Amino acid sequence: MTSDPYTYHEGFGNHFSSEALPDSLPKGQNTPQKCPYDLYAEQLSGTAFTAPRTHNQRTWLYRIRPSVVHSPFQPTENPLLTLQGESTPTQLRWSPFDISKEDEDFVQGLKTVSFAGEPSTGGGLAIHIYTATKSMDHKAFYNSDGDFLIVPQQGRLDITTEFGKMMVAPNEICVIPRGIRYSVALPDGPVRGYILEIFGQTHFEIPDLGPIGANGLANPRDFVTPKAAYTKENNVDWKIVTKFDNKLFIAEQNHTPFDVVAWHGNYVPYKYDLAKFCVINTVSYDHIDPSIFTVLTAKSPVPGVAIADFVIFPPRWAVSEHTFRPPYFHRNCMSEFMGLILGDYEGKTGGFSPGGASLHSPMTPHGPDTKAFEGAYNAELKPVRVGDNTQSFMFETSLLLKVTPWALRTCGKVQEDYWKAWANLEPKFNA
């Protein structure tokens, strides 16, 4: 992977001001009678006007033409983008999802794996796989239903947004909030990755640190947001695709949607390098709960209960004494969807590969497989590195996830023998 060619604003949750031309932001007000450079003022609201100031999110965009200049929307299809499915308590694991041999761009390559709730009520989430073999050509996409947290697994994404450009590589993530238009180019060829979508006006936050203190985990300064950049393309046909109530619609316009010369606000796209995560872990005994690895959370109205958490299992030291160090056997009130960006996962010794996934539903037992258990059960407990050259992650939710027909059957990637990972765990009881 080559270096990122773009520059960014730093910080999480900040109110940013960004100009591609000098003095292109109005001074002292948002909607002057005439904006600098005769730009149009347009507000993008990510929360209700009356949301508490601590959670209110909006941005003012100053653009060459307002985004309302387009033809009526017409329905278009992606049958694999669906909120139809069934629930199962069975542990599921998928081999790496195939990248299509056909030409498909980022939008055409969206495939839903699992979901809970639905967008029209503003509650719930969906988990998608994306694959693509070509760049979006004079096509922009925005999600009317919710925020996308995008986890590249293969290949960089060169993303042009209304706010500017960002390059997102494997072992980085980006979040593109609801309503923001963007286009995805592929500088390295075919791509694959994972998406966590949260519906409605709930947005991702960095978790509270409590007694950890003021620093640690995902530090705010390590999140970056694009700087204003614009193109001045007119009399060129563009297609604007939106996901609206989980259906795709398309409109046309004869100018670029990426004509924002300046903007200011706190409702923004951003990215984060997972290698910058500051790991917190035990230095005495016991395996600490995986919540210590939370990068981002989308809170529910119930304190301490998340609609969704994004959790990683990064490289780190394991030093705990007289302790079974891998993840413990567990039955959880949450749903756990895991993916693998690169390398191997410490709790499994085979079958869980980069580009694949697993799902453990509420109260369904799971834990280390037989070989991983035996290795840790008999290991010498000296300080060791864990997870070097690997990166696994988890989308965890308090909701019960249904699985789509494509994910259960059509994709052909479900490992029917996954249950055998635990079949040879024998009793060790010696009383």
Tokens of 115: 């979901």
Cα angle 246-80-73, degrees, rounded to a multiple of 5: 45
9 is in an annotated binding site: no
Identity of the residue numbered 15: H
The residue from 128, 287, 322, 360 that is catalytic is 287
Residue at 72: amino acid letter: P
Q: How many CA atoms lie within 13 A of 105 on its CB side?
A: 15
Q: For residue 70, say whether it is annotated as part of any ligand binding site.
A: no
- Catalytic site includes residue 287: yes
Q: Is 389 left (phi over 0), alpha (psi -120 to 50) or beta?
A: left
CA distance 153 to 336: 19
Q: Output the CA–CA distances (angstroms, integers) from residue 382 to 285, 321, 325, in the order listed.
A: 12, 8, 11
- Using CB atoms within 10 A of its CB, is residue 419 exposed (0-12), middle (13-18) or buried (19+)? exposed
Gyration radius of the chain's alpha carbons: 22
The answer to whether 77 is annotated as binding is: no
Return the ∠ at Cα 313 (arms to 312 and 318), rounded to 5°: 150
Consecutive H or E run containing 374: helix 370-377
Residue type, 243: K
Q: What are phi and psi of 328, to 5 degrees?
A: -80, 165
Q: Which two tokens stand for residue 142?
A: 């925005």
Residues 6 or more apart whose Cβ sits within 8 Å of residue 323? 282, 285, 286, 287, 381
Q: Is 330 annotated as a binding residue?
A: yes
Q: Are 284 and 105 in contact (CB under 8 A)?
A: no
Q: Which residues are annotated as a binding site for homogentisate?
A: 345, 366
Annotated binding site for Fe cation, which residues? 330, 336, 366
Binding residue numbers: 330, 336, 345, 366
Q: Indicate which residues carry an active-site annotation.
A: 287
